[in-house]
Amino acid sequence: MSVVMEKAFGRPVSLQDVQTHFCPGCHHGTIHRLVAEALDHFGIQERTIGAASVGCSVFLYGYFDIDVVESPHGRAPAVATGIKRVRKDRIVFTYQGDGDLAAIGTSEILHAANRGEALTVIFVNNTTYGMTGGQMAPTTLPQQRTTTSPYGRNVATDGYPIRMAELLAGLEGTAYSARVAVNSPRNVLSAGKTIREAFRYQVENQGFSFVEILAACPTNWGMNPLQANERVGAELIPYFKLGTFKDRCQEEG
């Protein structure tokens, strides 16, 4: 009796066949795959342009088999806006971390969303500046220790973590805003569907879409991969609730 083996799981076409440089336990690789799967799902690889930020996304061009434009720190939404307005036929997305998007680039992301730019934004929230030294970010949790808050974030002097998905959902120009996590198989599957939905908004010209993804940063958290993954579920998700905060297509019926 002959047995036919069928390949059920492979590398997305939109990803390069290369090894990444990310730290052990980092979730960027998982998120890259989910974004690439969304591009493959819609068959938009050849007309997609990514706008990478400064940080751990800076080598996006080396991992995705698409055109990528490097942006100054925090300015990816502005760069993406220029690309999309000039090439309306292209699918344009940004890939940004919390230090980049929620701190240095706060103005860019707020105004791009408020204008309703036809972009998709992938926002990786690991509550710290990942590449530039592990400093406190706008999303750093209360009492979390970082290189610039060695005794823990003090909300009395440092303020509270910013919930970007909810903030952008309140803007008139935002069409879709959601938050997911990639710390478990169930959450990875849910995240993939949400990212795909965000790209669908752009494919169907429905407006600005935003997905916040809770992720681990073992190196800057001072944890091993297992501990960091567990922290996402134990600390990040309770503070940054998962869910869809705005879905204009659903609201309009």
pLDDT single digits (tens) 83-96? 999 999 999 999 99
* CA pair distance 181, 27, nearest whole angstrom: 10
Total of domains in the chain: 1
Domain that holds residue 198: 28-248
Mean pLDDT of 14-32: 94
How distant is the alpha carbon of residue 119 from its chain centre? 13
53 occurs within a structural domain: yes
Q: Which residues, including other chains, have CB under 8 Å from residue 157's CB and lie 6 or more apart? A: none
CATH code at position 111 = 3.40.50.970
Per-residue pLDDT, 58: 84
48 occurs within a structural domain: yes
Q: Confidence band (pLDDT; 50, 70, 90) for 36?
A: very high
C-alpha pair distances (Å), 222 with each of 79, 130, 175, 233? 34, 12, 37, 17
Q: For residues 180-194, b (16+ Cβ closer than 10 Å) or e, as one string?
A: bbbbeeebbebbbeb
Q: Confidence band (pLDDT; 50, 70, 90) for 1?
A: low
How distant is the alpha carbon of residue 70 from its chain centre? 16
Both structure tokens of 227: 């501990």
Per-residue pLDDT, 225: 97
Q: Kindly report, residue by residue over 240-253, the tens digit of the pLDDT.
A: 999 999 999 888 76
